Chain A
């Protein structure tokens, strides 16, 4: 078994635990431990055991977004909805990225990277506005949708 295949099984177990909670952990651990002999190297087995040990953590619900995170998402959403020329929209997006980075500076060390991460989408939107690679919908020319 390739490590990648084991990781797929682990991710499936992770999602099941997130849906079902702690009660799903023992069965998931047993299922994944049964796969360990199929891995082809000691290094892959070491990595797989470490993945299994992460399973109980997935039963803990994630914390709700903070007020600051919600504020940052609102800035991001507003920037996305901006209208105007390409340059005008790009300028709005650039300003939103600046604002979000400044918000991240006020966030906790744990949350700041996630707030900063919101700008990754905005950055790509800005890039795509200025240099689109794809047509908005190539099929439109074909089937009239």
Chain B
């Protein structure tokens, strides 16, 4: 097997770059971790490849890049196009948020990242392929099946079956380590809305306790196996969330004026009165502001002048987000 750099003037590069541009049109973001380099593994045809830690894409010539061409059988083509969309989605968000108290810097976040990314890629590939000129391809099959289904059940628990998609769509705008916090925020709103005061300190602490409950050991492996563990992990997770919600309710019966005494999920951030405790929505639209990450509240108006979308996201926020940061990400899995 050889790895070769694809010439930017070549048809293969142009085809990939076109798909990448369409992915970014359909999923706008100011974060763009692709460094413009595209590599192909050639000759083996048995390694799919991914976004690399240096910001380049390395993809199989035989399994992915060749199958993007016209004339490829539709089931192979939709798999290749979905792979490109999946990997492109990884390139549009930051991985870490080192100073956020509710960040989860562990393999749990990797598992959830893959589940969410595959979820969004599977649902997005029909319109993605159509805009790219492939017409109507067959439905894509999730290739991270167990983490896909575990994620699905978690989203439906948090938001309900008819709002799970909106939650997934919102969560993938957050840095990888912050997706649990977005889901925890939904759980607080939908399951603990009358228990936890709207004060940011109270909300952050409640989300932290739910994050501890959600990040079960099963998530460490669920993205790496197709065995039938997804449902079991989801069941274990939702049971743990229920128990955590009970603890939070009990706490507020006894101590209504005090935030739940949860440790920060992010072990790198010591709990203090100065930590940032804004909601996940704020982080998604202004995560890149360095002053924000150092614990200072975002500047007044920094997020307030963007028109609200139907689901509460701020329209211009996607394009305004993340400026000022350029950390390179990890190799995707």
Determine whether A106 belongs to the interface, using a CB cutoff of 8 Å to chain B: no
- With contacts A57-B139, A113-B76, A133-B330 known, is A121 near B226, CB below 8 A? yes
Do residues B106 and A5 form an inter-chain contact, with CB atoms below 8 A? no
Q: Which A89-107 residues have a C-beta within 8 angstroms of B?
A: 97-98, 101
- With contacts A3-B127, A98-B46, A117-B79 known, is A137 near B165, CB below 8 A? no
Determine whether B66 belongs to the interface, using a CB cutoff of 8 Å to chain A: no
Bound form: Cα–Cα A46–B125 in Å? 16
- With contacts A117-B141, A121-B143, A121-B226 known, is A137 near B263, CB below 8 A? no
Tally of B interface residues using CB under 8 Å: 62
Bound form: Cα–Cα A104–B224 in Å? 20
- With contacts A47-B127, A121-B224 known, is A8 near B165, CB below 8 A? yes
Do residues A127 and B331 form an inter-chain contact, with CB atoms below 8 A? yes
Q: Which B72-102 residues have a C-beta within 8 angstroms of A?
A: 73, 75-76, 79, 83
- With contacts A47-B127, A116-B63 known, is A80 near B267, CB below 8 A? no
By a CB distance below 8 angstroms, the chain B residues around A51 are 126-127, 130
By a CB distance below 8 angstroms, the chain B residues around A97 are 46
Do residues A119 and B165 form an inter-chain contact, with CB atoms below 8 A? no
- With contacts A8-B169, A124-B333, A125-B224 known, is A16 near B162, CB below 8 A? yes
Do residues A139 and B75 form an inter-chain contact, with CB atoms below 8 A? no
Do residues A121 and B223 form an inter-chain contact, with CB atoms below 8 A? yes
Bound form: Cα–Cα A19–B164 in Å? 14
Which applies to chain B's interface (DSSP): helix, strand, loop or mixed? loop
CB proximity of B266 to chain A, nearest CB, Å:
8
The one of A7, A113, A134 in contact with B105, judged by C-beta atoms closer than 8 angstroms, is: A134
Query: What 0/1 readout, one digit per residue, does chain A (101-145) give for beta carbons within 8 Å of chain B?
Result: 100000001111110111111011101100101111111011101
Determine whether A33 belongs to the interface, using a CB cutoff of 8 Å to chain B: no
Bound form: Cα–Cα A85–B226 in Å? 22
Determine whether B70 belongs to the interface, using a CB cutoff of 8 Å to chain A: no
Q: Which residue of A lies closest to B138 (CB)?
A: A110
Do residues A109 and B331 form an inter-chain contact, with CB atoms below 8 A? no
9-residue interface stretch from B107-115, B197-205, B279-287, B291-299: B107-115
Which of A48, A50, A98, A113 has the most C-beta atoms of chain B within 10 angstroms of its own C-beta? Answer: A113
- With contacts A15-B161, A118-B143, A119-B48 known, is A77 near B225, CB below 8 A? yes
- With contacts A47-B130, A76-B226, A97-B46 known, is A139 near B106, CB below 8 A? yes
CB proximity of A74 to chain B, nearest CB, Å:
9
The one of A3, A109, A113, A121 in contact with B79, judged by C-beta atoms closer than 8 angstroms, is: A113
Bound form: Cα–Cα A58–B140 in Å? 12
CB proximity of B59 to chain A, nearest CB, Å:
11
Do residues B124 and A139 form an inter-chain contact, with CB atoms below 8 A? no
- With contacts A124-B333, A136-B220 known, is A7 near B123, CB below 8 A? yes
Do residues A137 and B226 form an inter-chain contact, with CB atoms below 8 A? no
Query: What 0/1 readout, one digit per residue, does chain A (44-70) give for beta carbons within 8 Å of chain B?
Result: 000110110010010000000000000
Determine whether B20 belongs to the interface, using a CB cutoff of 8 Å to chain A: no
CB proximity of A22 to chain B, nearest CB, Å:
17
Do residues B127 and A77 form an inter-chain contact, with CB atoms below 8 A? no
Q: Which B28-81 residues have a C-beta within 8 angstroms of A?
A: 45-48, 50, 53, 63, 73, 75-76, 79
- 10 smallest beta-carbon distances between A and B, as pairs: A142-B267, A124-B333, A11-B123, A117-B143, A133-B330, A138-B106, A77-B227, A125-B224, A134-B107, A113-B79
Cross-chain pairs A/B with CB under 8 angstroms, 9 sampled = A12-B163, A16-B162, A19-B161, A80-B221, A80-B226, A119-B46, A127-B331, A135-B106, A137-B220
Residues of B within 8 A of A (CB): 26-27, 45-48, 50, 53, 63, 73, 75-76, 79, 83, 104-110, 123-124, 126-127, 130-131, 136, 139, 141, 143-144, 161-166, 169, 212, 215, 217, 220-221, 223-227, 263-268, 309-311, 315, 330-331, 333
